[in-house]
Structure 1
């Protein structure tokens, strides 16, 4: 079921980013590890690539998305969502290529049903979950979250899913579980970016991510199975992905097949590729710049289309500081970026 739950830091629903804008967001810039170099400044980080998203290319035929079973406990006034038909534009999912339309064009044949998610490691009850059965049996919630990309643009998205913490409790984590490691599907036959280093952005696949245990158990942390009331499209990480709203977007690992609870800090894909640019924590922080651009402000992509972009200050922890700042008390957030 879908239950609407609001947090103090939740943005106004009138500022929900339209589906076409979210799903048509520009490609990531190639990182210097690939030898292409990046000519970004604090005022222009990703700007040219962002503008290149205004394309007349026809959208690929979207895969079928299923409505999620839900009930609403609250109907916000003045809520107008973008039509679902606009949710097929483009996305970033390097397993399907780095170009802005590659995920949309190359992911539609991804076999997402059935889908098994394994939970193992430091748990008393390791097991496997049928994700589609989980969708039907779990009490799903809608969460309207800000999403902040490390490249200094932001959106607001209505996710559907369940709290990661409540999900993990089913497997009885042991006292030795200090971190949670995530892994994306590895299937080069279906994911062309995994077959070719240049197509896949130079990442060492499978894509991996991680959270500290207290971050994973925080009620804001979501396992998402849908957006805009329906199941995730493949280019958005179908059928199940991670959403951590106070961290940069690359922490939101897609198409998850394995979760492991571990004692030591696990490796993460972007940190392995460019540790000086992408830290393990990846908390949104306007006072800690990316090595090649400022993080003090961001371009909010609003409901009017690609050129309706508002420059606004970046909020510490992406605006969720009241809920999560205590997780990092006495930590040097410049050192642990």
Structure 2
């Protein structure tokens, strides 16, 4: 009888130990789950900053939720498709994908969905394709608000006739297309886009394109340009570089340059460009910290939460009127004052 009592006590003790070891903390991912994060590579600019924030967020949430991860970058779409196939073969549990170009990674993305792996597509969408979830900045609204800003800024001129502008896009992905579509929806019918350029999101390319326009166009055509509509803050700086270097016969009458990003480097030029060249600037918030949202959704999916559809991240206008206020905002501090 004594031996039976001892065995019962030992059994109760084992049950208690196992029960304590399996206690639910509320934020733990099942052992062995893996998140794949797949992005284009870059060493500078918006994408370079985004990679830093994405990797930092992946490490942070991996520690918080207790999962493993693979963080992969690539130079082109074919390499990105190969990475997706590799992650499928490794049976990862969720993937966050920032496509080089949506159409070019459609097959890889479809393979992910066919394998039953939750897929979050960030920033550049894949037309006609429905992943588990899409996370992106509100590009269409950025275009709409830029159109409205142009309407207000040139209200007097538009009442009298046409206002000619140049457009500097980033690439042929859905991002610039949405921004262009948004602008066309709200811009006054007298706002005329004289020429469009595709910059590859590069400051030097934008500078060369603007220099070519200034040297190859007639004086009349150059002097008719009143504003520059760009899709990226680095691109704005390239255009401004060309304007500052111009010494041709035309009297430049460019009064406004618009961008996207809310970069500190651009905010720092607001005052000197206004004072030296009489050009106002406005930029729309599109921070590299936004990619953290996509990674967080991936972590939450591993933790058992469900999401679907499109999640849009809000933008805001930043010009001379609220630049100082914006520099004191949390999103600015996270971007420039955090240790990632």
- Bucket of the pairwise TM-score, normalised by the shorter protein: under 0.3
Higher RCO by CA contacts (8 Å cutoff, separation 6 or greater): 1
Between structure 1 and structure 2, the one with the greater Rg is 2
Larger helix proportion of the pair: 2
Alignment TM-score, normalising by the size of structure 1:
0.23
